[in-house]
């Protein structure tokens, strides 16, 4: 893959929801771009001292955080990773290392689509119970996911350049 894909540009104007969702979708598309076109071996290749910080591992992690924040926290669904993460805090990274990259990309895109649907039905000020007696609002979750996805998109950018020289925002 040598050319930059068409990604949804974040809007230069618009309300808070439009701009937050715009930046998040741009970052999500960047993640998919940085992970696309690699072999399974490349996606699993450790390039930094942390053996789990691989393209596959980061994509597995990003899929998990999409699922957790939007489907579990905001949508109140069962946390399907809870037991696995209690047994191994890095479970999503390890599972991803055994999963074909194309399957990881498809799972990430499907989870992002589910996340969009959850947020579309809520207001940014809507609050939900969070970890006991606390509350969190939708705005926090979306802003946090912009930060989380952006941070890991940066990691993926570096890993991809190290793998095959692909660069680009």
Domains of the chain in sequence order: 17-164 (1.20.120.450)
**Residue of 116, 114, 141 whose CA lies nearest to 127:** 141
Beta-bridge partner residues of 135: 129
Give 95's contacts (C-beta < 8 A, 6+ positions apart). 60, 84
- C-alpha span between 105 and 43 (Å, rounded): 11
Instruction: Say whether pLDDT at 158 is over 60.
Output: yes
Interval 150-158 mean pLDDT: 97
Beta-bridge partner residues of 129: 135
pTM: 0.94
Quote the radius of gyration of the chain (alpha carbons, Å): 16
Give 123's contacts (C-beta < 8 A, 6+ positions apart). 138
pLDDT digits (tens, 9 = 90+) for 21-69: 999 999 999 999 999 999 999 999 999 999 999 999 999 999 999 999 9
């Amino acid at each position: 893959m040598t050319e930059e894909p068409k990604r949804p540009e974040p809007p230069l104007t618009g309300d808070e929801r439009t701009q937050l969702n715009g930046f998040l979708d741009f970052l999500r598309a960047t993640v998919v771009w940085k992970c696309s076109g690699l072999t399974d071996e490349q996606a699993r290749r450790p390039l930094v001292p942390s053996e789990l910080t691989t393209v596959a591992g980061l994509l597995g992690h990003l899929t998990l955080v999409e699922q957790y924040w939007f489907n579990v926290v905001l949508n109140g669904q069962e946390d399907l990773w809870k037991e696995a993460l209690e047994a191994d805090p890095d479970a999503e990274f390890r599972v991803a290392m055994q999963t074909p990259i194309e399957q990881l990309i498809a799972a990430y895109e499907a989870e992002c689509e589910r996340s969009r649907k959850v947020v579309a039905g809520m207001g940014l000020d809507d609050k939900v119970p969070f970890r006991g007696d606390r509350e969190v609002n939708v705005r926090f979750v979306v802003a946090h996911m912009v930060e989380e996805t952006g941070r890991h998109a940066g990691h993926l950018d570096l890993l991809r350049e190290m793998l095959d020289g692909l660069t680009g925002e």
